[in-house]
Structure 1
């Protein structure tokens, strides 16, 4: 007989359905607390678990979507490259469209640039530079330009595929203005790689082409091409191997004329000259032989509103004074470099002051070498008298020069104080204090050395 238990006076079988439900309810309620705070904590835990579960599902969904997107993008890149590499007859338009697609895809994505190059997009794009269709040509040029942005391996591969020779052929054939701008932009991008500088400069047509583009000012739209051409010339001037080709193309007179005609390109122009005079003896000789080169550079030392131009002009003059002969130093002195350098040592930037001081030191040493005393054969009394006379004359000359220098320095200080006052919006009647005048007077009389 089955066991039974008594509950509230009734007999229930332990195996009855009612007993089973009762025991199930007791098991479910076992350990449940009526504490409200514990119930809140349990609900929060359940909610957190639900959120974590949802976040995990979302993360998996995003990973799957990202993987699918990458697969679709890779398949698209493969399709584009296959269309570029297709050599069947009558599909020229498809290749042109593929080049335009490469231009778009490579514009903003470093990953696409690398993938397209690995898939073999560069050789067919270079081959497309022989196209007679202007749209295809422009698309291929800008596609190559975008593939090389920030990717040295692609720049090297583009040159290795023969792009320089193709672009030179385009230059000789007379490209349209749009194609010319694209070619200049490519030379700028490719010349940024050190290994390409000598290769590009070795072509006898590239540097003259870039110089002509820099000189050109036919339209407002050519300003960007002018700047690109100048920056490409700057990249090429970094390599000493290109010094002779740059000088023979007439870059020094062209650059110096740009300092007079347009200050928009002055900093890049001076940077090109810095590279030429520092790395190439031919560059230094070209500067010294160019008419009014030193007066133009000395005039830049007065451009107080363009401190970087002052620094670069001072660098050029410093290298010329250090590595050139006495003729160049004499030409600098005759052009009035001393007064400009004195002003620069007072009011220039830290780098400009340092370079100006070095130039003044070089010129002072040069002046000391030129003072050679030769005594004629004769009586000692005549020799001593002649020496005394020369010392008196030299002392008088020094005094006159010192007075001129002191006057110049005072004028320069007062002029710069007025300029500072205007910039600081001080009232017009503002003037330096008496204490400042005393300090400047003492510095001009005691600290300055005649160079």
Structure 2
């Protein structure tokens, strides 16, 4: 009963701190190997809760040696043991590169991929969650998942009946596509683009955001992917998220639209026609730091080799906030603002306005309307 009580208490942030402080983690880890079937199941669940929202607990649990027995439960345990062990491993890897590396190197990926093909929906759901978490911070894990053929069953889950399965599958695919060209090719080949675009329109809020992230990553890889995404009519729902989405959706949509516009006059023109410029300029002016960064990036691409777009961007009053961002922004914000202004200045009339704005930029900036 003690381990059951700890599991129940651990579903609370304050209790998680207290349990760790009072020495509750070592005996829970010991029960993973030495306990009865029920005790090891309850211990895995308790450790999953303890790790969920507590970075220091993640470190402590790993240091107590929990990773190998959790992986053993995924390989050889009962269905419930497998489910809670997958949940625990996913939580241990949240924003923890060292744990993610250790879990992958200890051999967790192959049995987790096998769970994706299990008949039980709960096992599929938690396997997708664990793989998505492990792929989020570690390139070795991403490559290994591609080799273990995780992508095909994950794409299959995009059409699942369970919202949780869809959400964790799209999270995993978005992370697998982060900077990994081989995985991107497999994801596209498995037919992921169409269901991802459908989630932009029909999914829950988090599904929409993750689908936009996944499409942004796919679009970054090649012109063929950009063409495939736009052929599925992704631009309109992305522009809608940019206008009226959550903060996370706006950030992901700006990045996706920027990537779709890379070296594509047709896509850039379509994005402008969907009314995205006004939203992007608004984000540069008053958005979060990430909004400003990715909105400026999108404007760089829209203004590249397309004079009609340059005029449309200038007419929306982009020059003043871009000059301000170039002057006062941080890191990539400054870089993208600079490139956006350089692309806009390829239009002679805008170049004059840009020069005047820079001359006056030491004074308080005012929004300037472009006329032609």
Structure 2 Cα separation of the partners of residues 151 and 342 of structure 1 = 37
Structure 2 Cα separation of the partners of residues 347 and 92 of structure 1 = 56
Aligned to 1:235: 175
Alignment of 1:27-426 (within 5 A): 73-74=22-23, 77-86=25-34, 92-93=37-38, 95-103=40-48, 105-106=50-51, 110-131=55-76, 133-172=78-117, 174-216=118-160, 218=161, 222-241=162-181, 242-262=183-203, 264=205, 265-278=207-220, 280-281=221-222, 284-289=223-228, 292-293=231-232, 295-298=233-236, 300-301=238-239, 304-306=243-245, 313=253, 315-324=255-264, 329-330=265-266, 333=269, 337-338=272-273, 340=275, 350=285, 351=292, 352=295, 355-356=298-299, 359-360=302-303, 362-364=305-307
Q: CA deviation at 1:244?
A: 1.5
Structure 2 Cα separation of the partners of residues 157 and 196 of structure 1 = 11
RMSD of aligned C-alpha atoms?
4.1
Bigger-Rg structure (1/2):
1
Gaps of 5+ in 2: 1-17, 286-291, 316-368
Are 2:32 and 2:44, in contact at CA under 8 Å, matched by a contact in 1? yes
Structure 1 Cα separation of the partners of residues 85 and 121 of structure 2 = 16
Structure 1 Cα separation of the partners of residues 186 and 111 of structure 2 = 20
**Number of aligned pairs?**
289
Are 1:141 and 1:186, in contact at CA under 8 Å, matched by a contact in 2? yes
Query: What SS does the corresponding residue of 1:238 show, helix, strand or coil?
Result: coil
Structure 2 Cα separation of the partners of residues 182 and 256 of structure 1 = 24
Structure 2 Cα separation of the partners of residues 223 and 184 of structure 1 = 12
The TM-score with structure 1 as length reference comes to 0.52
Query: What SS does the corresponding residue of 2:124 show, helix, strand or coil?
Result: helix
Gaps of 5+ in 1: 1-68, 368-401, 410-445
Structure 2 Cα separation of the partners of residues 130 and 118 of structure 1 = 21
Structure 2 Cα separation of the partners of residues 152 and 249 of structure 1 = 29
Structure 1 Cα separation of the partners of residues 20 and 252 of structure 2 = 52
Q: CA deviation at 1:125?
A: 1.7
Structure 2 Cα separation of the partners of residues 123 and 171 of structure 1 = 20
Are 1:107 and 1:146, in contact at CA under 8 Å, matched by a contact in 2? yes
Are 1:234 and 1:268, in contact at CA under 8 Å, matched by a contact in 2? yes
Map Cα deviations across residues 285-316 of structure 1 (whole Å, 9 max, x no partner).
123145644x5404643563238656655554
Structure 2 Cα separation of the partners of residues 146 and 237 of structure 1 = 21
The TM-score with structure 2 as length reference comes to 0.62
Q: Which of the pair has the greater relative contact order for Cα pairs under 8 Å at 6+ separation?
A: 2
Are 1:344 and 1:353, in contact at CA under 8 Å, matched by a contact in 2? no
Q: CA deviation at 1:177?
A: 1.7
Q: CA deviation at 1:141?
A: 2.2
Query: What SS does the corresponding residue of 1:239 show, helix, strand or coil?
Result: coil
Map Cα deviations across residues 50-85 of structure 1 (whole Å, 9 max, x no partner).
xxxxxxxxxxxxxxxxxxx999955x6444444434
Query: What SS does the corresponding residue of 2:158 show, helix, strand or coil?
Result: helix
Structure 1 Cα separation of the partners of residues 101 and 189 of structure 2 = 27
Q: CA deviation at 1:162?
A: 0.8
Are 1:126 and 1:162, in contact at CA under 8 Å, matched by a contact in 2? yes
Q: CA deviation at 1:157?
A: 1.5
Distance of aligned partners of 1:243 and 1:353 in 2 relative to their CA distance in 1, 3 Å threshold = closer
Structure 2 Cα separation of the partners of residues 322 and 70 of structure 1 = 51
Q: CA deviation at 1:163?
A: 0.8
Distance of aligned partners of 1:310 and 1:150 in 2 relative to their CA distance in 1, 3 Å threshold = closer
